[in-house]
Chain A
Amino acid sequence: MSAADLVVSAPVREPARHSATTRFVIYGLLVVFALIYIVPLVVMVMTSLKPLDEVTGGNMFALPHHPTFDPWVQAWGEARIGVSETAGIKGYFWNSIKMVVPAVFISTLLGALNGYVLTKWRFPGHKLVFGMMLFACFIPFQSVIIPMAVILGELGAFGNRLIDLTGMSFGFGNPTVNLVIVHVIYGLGFTTLFFRNYYEVFPTELIKAAMIDGAGFFQIFRRILLPNSAPIFIVTVIYQFTNIWNDFLFGSTFAAGDQSPMTVALNNLVNTSTGIVEYNVNMAAAIIAAAPTLLVYIVAGRYFVRGLMAGAVKG
């Protein structure tokens, strides 16, 4: 027996057959999970397109026999929301838009500015400041509701005083403005974290070069940093948009009645305790409520993963 015989030869692989089986299993599993994820949406869309008698009388998975867009029209402009006089969810939809756009914009921009200062204009104690901002990410929102309510109450009182003095409140005490303030404050922890980590690996020599070129603090931010922050901007906007749009707690606490955001209105519509439950209208309203976040993911989703990975690998 020679030494060569003792060496176990590596098994000869049959790459084609082997990978075919593997691929079958992988794709099979993916299809199964995709179905599990898509079923609720399919049921929602189908139900929203059925007349009410078809919903209550028929199978949940049956295709609509007489497809109709009436439930969508009702949900958008006619349905009664809670005890409100406003018809349909359209008013609340715009409430949410008016809240989300400024809140996302301001919190993202402030996060970028914070990230810029915490990485490129370091000051003694910058680590402590960043640590405390990170802390904001982990505070349970329920625990800040009462202090926040007190602060917003003060702002409201200040607004009333302004009305007495000038005839205008300048937005103080307005529920939408209040929600923007709350979401900006609680979004800041996350947006700062995102931008700080992105700017941490941003070459400092560029900042130095710009300083020698005579650019000031904000010029460097606007001309050098921001134009090179697209990936992290998209990540932050998606994250903030989804969180703020879907928020229910702050919306139901700090805004009431006609001023409520979409999520609160949807709850009021669905949780009605009088009359027949119009499932088709509820489903249509729920889809409308989820549509903006879905849209944001579809449009910018591919940048999301790219942005999250940015800086993870050099190059």
Chain B
Amino acid sequence: MAFLEISGLRKRFGALEILKGIDLTLDKGGFLVLVGPSGCGKSTLLNTIAGLESISSGDIRIDGHTINDLHPSKRDIAMVFQSYALYPNMSVAQNIAFGMEMRGVPKPQRDKAVADVAKTLKIEHLLSRRPSQLSGGQRQRVAMGRALVRQPRVFLFDEPLSNLDAKLRVDMRVEIKRLHQQTGATIVYVTHDQIEAMTLATRIAVLKDGELQQVGTPNEIYNAPANLFVADFMGSPAMNLLEGRVARANGATKVVLERKDHEPIVIAAPPCADPSKLAEGGKVIFGIRPEAVNDRESIDRNAKSVATFNANVEIVEPAGSDTFVVTHIAGKEVTARMRADADVRVGESHAFAFNLDKAVLFDPQTTRRI
């Protein structure tokens, strides 16, 4: 049985349904990231787990116990808020100890717990300061300290890094990951940043309009997106999505990408697609990540199936570690992630290659992966 179980969870505000039947499970020690665009219901979902929002129907269980109607303080959870929510009138030590004070833990025990947590987070020198005297990163640590000191069964993080600047965000991300590995805590984490989701999660749940789109490991979500929304949302730059048509030649299934003023590109159907679901002449959407589009000579040598074609280079974006090359196929932009020293020039025709092992097909009607 999973440690955290959510089944058939619905949340309505009047006639508006924010969560439309969520089913999720998380094992003990897992790191679940809820990701999705603004207004998809991910924060509401987190708040219902915390008990800060009531639920309309469904069940939330931690370790087999239903916690639907328990007060937030009785659920044995700890939450880190986006704004940190440190009490401005209390020192750092008082902030961390407040929960224990409310539960009536004796003072010597509180002091010891605060000292232990401060040591873990390297904030011993800040304990007597007020939150207003701390930098953003320090506040973030104190907020995590307040959560850690409870030793809760589940940690909840509500976009904890979105108020930090870019560099600090990366540092804190590593810090959170290290904390997770050290403590083996069970964590539910909300973010709209798909890179945070990919790097931190053991499981990702992608939400849109209050519905789960896909739940899986970061690898599954990235390489085998369940539908067009997940494919487009995860990954930066986004997955290239091209319209194509199914054709059969010599018993093999092919996908034809039509081009204006050019020969159409005919490629073998990607190995992951189920050929029985591809009707001849049917329309499909061909999806391929930028890193699976490359030079003919630098394409992955282990790739079993490769398609090559020539196209005009429109934009070259050197990003230091890689160079992003933008071209056009079938009226759609296609971005390729190439080596930093790739020899490409704007306006010239270049030989590209698709690594079809990494490509996916979608049904344009249902938007689901085939």
Hey, what's the 0/1 contact readout for B129-163 against A, CB within 8 Å counting as 1?
00000000000000000100000000000000000
Bound-state CA distance A213–B80 (Å) is 12
Other than A210-B98, A228-B88, give 20 A-B pairs with Cβ distance below 8 A.
Answer: A203-B85, A205-B81, A205-B82, A205-B85, A208-B79, A208-B81, A209-B79, A209-B85, A209-B87, A211-B71, A212-B77, A212-B79, A212-B99, A213-B102, A214-B73, A214-B99, A215-B73, A215-B102, A224-B87, A224-B89
Taking a contact as CB atoms under 8 Å apart, the answer to whether A213 and B99 are in contact is yes
Hey, what's the 0/1 contact readout for A121-165 against B, CB within 8 Å counting as 1?
000000000000000000000000000000000000000000000
Taking a contact as CB atoms under 8 Å apart, the answer to whether A210 and B81 are in contact is no
Query: How far is the CB of A104 from the nearest CB of chain B, in Å?
Result: 23
Query: How far is the CB of A301 from the nearest CB of chain B, in Å?
Result: 24
Taking a contact as CB atoms under 8 Å apart, the answer to whether A214 and B103 are in contact is yes
Hey, what's the 0/1 contact readout for A173-195 against B, CB within 8 Å counting as 1?
00000000000000000000000
Query: How far is the CB of B160 from the nearest CB of chain A, in Å?
Result: 12
Query: How far is the CB of A120 from the nearest CB of chain B, in Å?
Result: 12
Bound-state CA distance A214–B70 (Å) is 12
- Is B83 positioned at the interface, with any CB of A under 8 Å from its CB? yes
Interface residues on A, range: 10 to 19
Q: Which residues of chain B from 72 to 100 have any CB-CB distance to chain A below 8 Å in the complex?
A: 72-73, 77-79, 81-83, 85, 87-89, 98-99
Question: What are the residues of chain B within 8 A of A208 when measuring CB–CB?
Answer: 50, 52, 72, 79, 81, 85
Query: How far is the CB of A221 from the nearest CB of chain B, in Å?
Result: 13
Identify the A interface with B (CB < 8 A).
203, 205-206, 208-215, 219, 223-224, 227-228
Give the number of residue pairs across the A-B interface with Cβ within 8 Å: 54
Taking a contact as CB atoms under 8 Å apart, the answer to whether A206 and B87 are in contact is yes
In chain A, what residue has the closest Cβ to B101? A213
Bound-state CA distance A203–B83 (Å) is 9
Taking a contact as CB atoms under 8 Å apart, the answer to whether A228 and B89 are in contact is yes
Question: What are the residues of chain B within 8 A of A210 when measuring CB–CB?
Answer: 87, 98
User: Secondary structure of the A side of the interface?
Assistant: helix
Bound-state CA distance A219–B98 (Å) is 11
11 A-B pairs with C-beta separation under 8 A: A203-B83, A205-B85, A208-B52, A208-B85, A209-B87, A209-B146, A212-B72, A214-B73, A215-B73, A223-B98, A224-B89
Question: What are the residues of chain A within 8 A of B87 when measuring CB–CB?
Answer: 206, 209-210, 223-224
Identify the B interface with A (CB < 8 A).
50-52, 71-73, 77-79, 81-83, 85, 87-89, 98-99, 102-103, 146
Bound-state CA distance A214–B146 (Å) is 13
Query: How far is the CB of A50 from the nearest CB of chain B, in Å?
Result: 52
In chain A, what residue has the closest Cβ to B75? A212
Taking a contact as CB atoms under 8 Å apart, the answer to whether B98 and A213 are in contact is yes
Question: What are the residues of chain A within 8 A of B89 when measuring CB–CB?
Answer: 224, 227-228
Query: How far is the CB of B194 from the nearest CB of chain A, in Å?
Result: 24
Question: What are the residues of chain A within 8 A of B85 when measuring CB–CB?
Answer: 203, 205-206, 208-209
Question: What are the residues of chain A within 8 A of B82 when measuring CB–CB?
Answer: 205
Question: What are the residues of chain B within 8 A of A213 when measuring CB–CB?
Answer: 73, 98-99, 102, 146
Taking a contact as CB atoms under 8 Å apart, the answer to whether B50 and A212 are in contact is yes
Query: How far is the CB of B54 from the nearest CB of chain A, in Å?
Result: 13
Bound-state CA distance A171–B141 (Å) is 54
Taking a contact as CB atoms under 8 Å apart, the answer to whether B81 and A211 are in contact is no
Taking a contact as CB atoms under 8 Å apart, the answer to whether A219 and B83 are in contact is no
Query: How far is the CB of A94 from the nearest CB of chain B, in Å?
Result: 35
Bound-state CA distance A71–B102 (Å) is 59
Bound-state CA distance A212–B146 (Å) is 11
Taking a contact as CB atoms under 8 Å apart, the answer to whether A205 and B83 are in contact is yes
Bound-state CA distance A214–B74 (Å) is 8
Taking a contact as CB atoms under 8 Å apart, the answer to whether A212 and B73 are in contact is yes
Query: How far is the CB of A266 from the nearest CB of chain B, in Å?
Result: 41
Query: How far is the CB of A89 from the nearest CB of chain B, in Å?
Result: 42
Question: What are the residues of chain B within 8 A of A219 when measuring CB–CB?
Answer: 102
Query: How far is the CB of B49 from the nearest CB of chain A, in Å?
Result: 11
In chain B, what residue has the closest Cβ to A229? B89
Taking a contact as CB atoms under 8 Å apart, the answer to whether B88 and A211 are in contact is no
Bound-state CA distance A302–B214 (Å) is 58
Question: What are the residues of chain B within 8 A of A203 when measuring CB–CB?
Answer: 83, 85
Among B73, B83, B85, the one with the most A-chain Cβ atoms within 10 Å of its Cβ is B85
Bound-state CA distance A203–B85 (Å) is 8
Bound-state CA distance A206–B143 (Å) is 11
Question: What are the residues of chain A within 8 A of B146 when measuring CB–CB?
Answer: 209, 213
Among B50, B51, B99, B146, the one with the most A-chain Cβ atoms within 10 Å of its Cβ is B99
Bound-state CA distance A208–B98 (Å) is 13
Query: How far is the CB of B297 from the nearest CB of chain A, in Å?
Result: 54
Question: What are the residues of chain B within 8 A of A227 when measuring CB–CB?
Answer: 89
In chain B, what residue has the closest Cβ to A213? B99
Query: How far is the CB of B91 from the nearest CB of chain A, in Å?
Result: 12
Question: What are the residues of chain A within 8 A of B77 when measuring CB–CB?
Answer: 212
Bound-state CA distance A228–B87 (Å) is 9
Among B72, B78, B82, the one with the most A-chain Cβ atoms within 10 Å of its Cβ is B72
Bound-state CA distance A268–B298 (Å) is 102
Taking a contact as CB atoms under 8 Å apart, the answer to whether B73 and A209 are in contact is no
